């Protein structure tokens, strides 16, 4: 597979503030990469560096094999979609779409053909003569995507394109972006802090924290084998249970409750303070629990019915444990239930470094 | 169970429906009377001098000497207006306000566009093309707004003289442009700063440069703020007296200066009616500008002129 975007040793400072530090990232041709992370971790900054809207402090950026570190945004073969749409308010949709092409002095017929094609793909043909104020949020975002589409670029950059939309529209457009990607097969780099968007859209997710990529992997690996406590806690809702304990000879002792980690694929040997991470959806109760390698009797404290399922709060060895149960299961506070899970499906972290072991 | 189901089972007669319904009737309160009384009194306070000016300018000198200040003229005459415009004397010249009017038109028509175009570009560059020291430059510019004119006038005279621009039309235009710069730049910078930065980024990704973004994206958006700027500058420059006296020279003396000369020239009797007519003529331009543009002005201000 060929490389589409390649970032080597990239650093960016705003004055004394180091936002990105020696960051490396390789994106394959046609890949959908999602940059995910909490607010202020440098996602937009990274995207702006790739787009050429920010001058990098150090490092190099290659797009389609060409070193574009010093190139203007228009010469990089990128299109960008912004969170606030950034449509030119005085121009009609058609003029908005064709602006970049007209700036590049493309022949009129070619401009028309491209605008027509983009409008067709995004189903905004009836809106071409309207001004942005006369459009709904979803329509505006389509136009914004169309503006990148007409330029026929290799790489699409999205900066939280859906976060100004309501939940329903966000779902619809998410599917459309996915469809667009399957149809066009462009490289897409997509910034979000919505983990559902990340999980559903991405070929690979880059989880960022303080300007550093914590883990870069496919959604399945990110979810099941988080590389450290930050990634483990960031992905998943409700978030992963962290049981602190002492790891000794393949058994972790969680405040007096020994949990044998049979079949867990250790990546390194460690004895000492450790954290066992268990996803709420991997905890079973009742008859299901009886089949699990580890079982324990516990008392329900809080019950949160979510509709599709129920989240219950309990304690294991004095530490908070939440689990997800089917909606039909009747649970109430004070009830004693048998819960169980397979420690091999969990994640064990070094308590000191926070890294997976 | 749905809510319709509940309400449909309630007996309809249980609620007394004869009470208040629809918009509440407007009542005249003491407070409202007070507000109107205050507004009417203030309007009178400002309109009374204008009334006196208008009626005086339409009276003959003998009637003015009778001293009935507020009365409508017994003998209506437009001669004072004609004289003020055409033949009133300033020193030796007896051409009325006419030359001054055309000088003011020339000065205003040149200074307003020049100063606004420069301020617009300044504001645009300062808010979108941040460069090293741009904040400092802006700070200095704003500081300029607080420097008393009197401090800079003398050095400016020397400078203009050295450039050979003292007492010329380009000279006075440059002076107006310089002194309008701080406030106009502030106005435009704040307007552009209120626009989303992503609009500018989108323009760059689309391949437009400094001027491309300025002319094709920013300029069409800055119509409301430009109306505000035009009004501010037109009235400001038209009403200017100080710079006109100092920098314009005899040839380009603006209307305000000429008005002053007419009013202060005393050859024999003081012609109050001519003075009044001349004053109204001079004030007419800003007045008309305000009347025509009041609505736009408010709209422009509301469009973010005073934001930030
Ligand atoms: N122009 C700037 N000057 C100084 N610091 C900045 C500037 N722009 C961003 N930063 C800082 O850089 C860091 C990263 O910002 P960035 O916008 O990339 O975050 P983000 O991950 O996109 O967050 P969000 O999810 O809120 O959009 C933040 O701490 C921010 O305060
Ligand atoms: Mg951001």
Query: pLDDT for B12-69, tens place per residue?
Result: 556 788 888 888 887 778 888 999 999 999 999 999 999 999 999 999 998 888 888 8
Q: Are B280 and B53 in contact (CB under 8 A)?
A: yes
Q: Are B102 and B169 in contact (CB under 8 A)?
A: no
In terms of domains, do B147 and B284 share one? yes
pLDDT at B308: 29
* Within-domain flag for B174: yes
Contact call for A83 and B198, based on CB within 8 A: yes
- Residues whose CB falls within 8 Å of the CB of residue B30, separated by 6 or more in sequence, listed in order: none
ipTM of the complex: 0.86
In terms of domains, do B91 and B59 share one? no
* Within-domain flag for B6: no
Residue B95 CB burial class (10 angstroms; 0-12, 13-18, ≥19):
middle
Q: Are A29 and A4 in contact (CB under 8 A)?
A: yes
Domain that holds residue B26: 18-77
pLDDT at B242: 92
* Ligand 1 pocket, mutate which of A11, A23, A44 (most atoms under 8 A from CB): A44
Q: Where does a domain end: B32, B47, B77?
A: B77
In terms of domains, do B141 and B30 share one? no
Q: Are B137 and B129 in contact (CB under 8 A)?
A: no
Structure tokens at A59: 């490092």
Omega before A185 cis (within 30°)? no
In terms of domains, do B163 and B236 share one? yes
Q: Where does a domain end: B27, B44, B77?
A: B77
Structure tokens at A266: 């250790």
Neighbouring residues of the ion ligand 2, judged by CB less than 5 Å: A 44
Contact call for B201 and A104, based on CB within 8 A: no
Q: pLDDT digit string (tens) for A320-342?
A: 999 999 988 889 999 999 999 99
Pocket of ligand 1 (CB under 6 A): A 14, 17, 19, 37, 39-45, 193
* Within-domain flag for B1: no
* Within-domain flag for B199: yes
Q: Which residue has the tokens 């689990």?
A: A323
Q: Whose CA is nearest to atom 4 of ligand 1?
A: A14
Pairing of strands A272-278, A241-248: antiparallel
Contacts of B196 in chain A (CB under 8 A): 84, 86
pLDDT at B51: 93
How far apart CA A111 and CA A97 sit, in angstroms, is: 9
In terms of domains, do B65 and B183 share one? no
Within 13-52 of A, beta carbons closer than 8 Å to B belong to 48, 51-52
In terms of domains, do B49 and B176 share one? no
* Within-domain flag for B49: yes
In terms of domains, do B156 and B278 share one? yes
Q: Where does a domain end: B77, B105, B127?
A: B77
* Within-domain flag for B30: yes
pLDDT, mean of residues B181-205: 92
In terms of domains, do B67 and B149 share one? no
How far apart CA B308 and CA B305 sit, in angstroms, is: 9
In terms of domains, do B28 and B88 share one? no
Contact call for B204 and A53, based on CB within 8 A: yes
- Residues whose CB falls within 8 Å of the CB of residue B274, separated by 6 or more in sequence, listed in order: B57, B80, B83, B84, B88, B262
Domain containing residue B254: CATH number: 1.10.3720.10
pLDDT at B11: 56
Number of domains in chain B: 2
A89 close contact with B: CB closer than 8 A: yes
* Within-domain flag for B13: no
* Ligand 1 pocket, mutate which of A10, A15, A16, A17 (most atoms under 8 A from CB): A17
* Within-domain flag for B8: no
Q: pLDDT digit string (tens) for B111-150?
A: 999 999 999 999 999 998 877 888 888 888 888 888 888 8
pLDDT at A197: 93
Which domains, and CATH codes, for chain A?
A: 3-230 (3.40.50.300), 239-350 (2.40.50.140)
Structure tokens at A211: 């300007």
In terms of domains, do B171 and B31 share one? no
Q: Are A31 and A190 in contact (CB under 8 A)?
A: no
In terms of domains, do B92 and B228 share one? yes
Q: Helix (H, G, I), strand (E, B), or coil: what is residue A190? A: strand
pLDDT, mean of residues A119-126: 92
In terms of domains, do B92 and B212 share one? yes
Q: pLDDT digit string (tens) for A164-215?
A: 888 888 998 999 999 999 999 999 999 998 999 999 999 999 999 999 999 9
Going from the Cα of A211 to the center of ligand 2, the distance in angstroms, rounded, reads 12
Q: pLDDT digit string (tens) for A148-163?
A: 999 889 999 999 999 8
């Amino acid at each position: 597979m060929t490389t589409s975007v390649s970032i080597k040793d990239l650093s960016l400072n705003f004055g004394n503030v180091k936002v990105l530090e020696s960051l490396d990232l390789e994106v394959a041709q046609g890949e959908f990469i999602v940059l995910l992370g909490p607010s202020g971790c440098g996602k937009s900054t990274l995207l702006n560096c790739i787009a050429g809207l920010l001058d990098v402090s150090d490092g190099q950026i290659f797009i389609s094999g060409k070193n574009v570190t010093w190139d203007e945004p228009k010469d990089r073969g990128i299109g960008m979609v912004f969170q606030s749409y950034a449509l030119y308010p005085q121009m009609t949709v058609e003029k908005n779409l064709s602006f970049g092409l007209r700036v590049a002095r493309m022949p009129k017929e070619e401009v028309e053909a491209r605008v027509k094609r983009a409008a067709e793909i995004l189903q905004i043909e009836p809106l071409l003569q309207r001004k942005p104020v006369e459009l709904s949020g979803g329509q505006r975002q389509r136009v914004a995507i169309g503006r990148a589409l007409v330029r026929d670029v290799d790489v699409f950059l999205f900066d939280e394109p859906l976060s100004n939309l309501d939940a329903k529209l966000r779902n619809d457009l998410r599917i459309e972006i996915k469809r667009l990607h399957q149809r066009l097969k462009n490289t897409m780099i997509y910034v979000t802090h919505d983990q559902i968007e990340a999980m559903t859209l991405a070929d690979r997710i880059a989880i960022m924290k303080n300007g550093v990529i914590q883990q870069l992997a496919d959604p399945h690996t990110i979810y099941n084998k988080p590389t450290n406590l930050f990634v483990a806690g960031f992905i998943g809702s409700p978030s992963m249970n962290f049981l602190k304990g002492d790891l000794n000879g393949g058994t972790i002792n969680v405040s007096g409750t020994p949990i044998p980690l049979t079949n867990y694929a250790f990546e390194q040997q460690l004895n000492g303070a450790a954290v066992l991470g268990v996803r709420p959806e991997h905890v079973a109760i009742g008859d299901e629990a009886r089949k699990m390698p580890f079982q324990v009797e516990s008392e329900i404290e809080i019950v949160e019915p979510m509709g599709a399922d129920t989240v219950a709060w309990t304690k294991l060895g004095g530490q908070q444990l939440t689990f997800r149960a089917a909606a039909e299961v009747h649970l109430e506070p004070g009830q004693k239930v048998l819960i169980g899970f397979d420690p091999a499906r969990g994640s064990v972290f070094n308590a000191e470094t926070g890294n997976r072991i | 169970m749905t809510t319709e189901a509940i309400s449909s089972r309630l007996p309809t007669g249980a609620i007394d429906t004869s009470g208040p319904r629809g918009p509440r009737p407007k009542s005249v309160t003491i407070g409202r009377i007070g507000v109107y009384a205050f507004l009417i009194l203030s309007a009178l306070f400002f309109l009374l001098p204008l009334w006196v000016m208008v009626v005086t300018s339409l009276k003959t000198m003998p009637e003015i000497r009778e001293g009935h200040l507020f009365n409508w003229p017994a003998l209506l005459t437009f001669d004072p207006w004609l004289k003020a415009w055409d033949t009133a004397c300033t020193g030796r010249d007896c051409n009325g306000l006419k030359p001054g009017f055309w000088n003011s038109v020339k000065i205003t028509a040149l200074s307003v566009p020049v100063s606004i175009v420069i301020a617009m570009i300044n504001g645009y560059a300062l808010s979108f093309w941040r460069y090293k020291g741009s904040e400092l430059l802006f700070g200095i510019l704003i500081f300029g707004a607080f420097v008393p004119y009197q401090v800079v006038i003398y050095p400016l005279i020397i400078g203009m003289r050295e450039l050979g621009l003292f007492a010329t039309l380009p000279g006075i235009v440059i002076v107006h442009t310089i002194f309008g710069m701080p406030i106009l730049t502030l106005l435009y910078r704040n307007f552009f700063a209120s626009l989303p930065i992503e609009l500018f980024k989108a323009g760059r990704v689309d391949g437009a440069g400094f001027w491309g973004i300025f002319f094709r994206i920013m300029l069409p958006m800055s119509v409301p703020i430009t109306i505000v700027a035009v009004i501010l500058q037109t009235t400001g420059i038209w009403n200017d007296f100080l710079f006109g006296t100092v920098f314009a020279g005899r040839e380009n003396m603006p209307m305000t200066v000429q008005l002053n000369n007419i009013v202060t020239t005393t050859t024999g009797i003081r012609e109050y009616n001519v003075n009044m007519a001349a004053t109204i003529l001079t004030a007419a331009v800003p007045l008309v500008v305000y009347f025509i543009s009041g609505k736009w002005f408010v709209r422009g201000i509301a469009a973010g002129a005073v934001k930030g």
